[in-house]
Amino acid sequence: MDHDRSAPDPNSATDAFTPPERRRFARYGDPVPVPTLVDQSLRSAELQLLDAREALKEARRRVVQLEDALESWQTLRQEMTRNGSEAPRAAAN
């Protein structure tokens, strides 16, 4: 998708920050055919699923980073214990 989803549609009276695919196609109070409502709901659900998948990918990346950091701290502690070295006190931040 090369288009900028945050760019305002100059022909639209809706909020400039609303992506075009999430804008309502009818004014408030106008009758909307049921198939149109179903199509809009389906598209909305698809977009929510895409957003949730992206959030899940980011969360998984963060979990991997945290696991790596924890493993590094555990390794450092094991090496310090194995060497029997008492490190001098460090200044706490």
Where are the chain's structural domains?
20-83
As a whole number of Å, the end-to-end CA separation of the chain is 45
Q: How far is CA 6 from CA 15, 22, 23, 31, in A?
A: 10, 12, 12, 28
Neighbours of 38 (CB within 10 A): 10
Q: Does pLDDT of 93 surpass 80?
A: no
pLDDT of residue 72: 97
Mean pLDDT of 6-14: 49
Q: Does pLDDT of 24 surpass 60?
A: no
pLDDT band of 20, cuts 50, 70, 90 = low
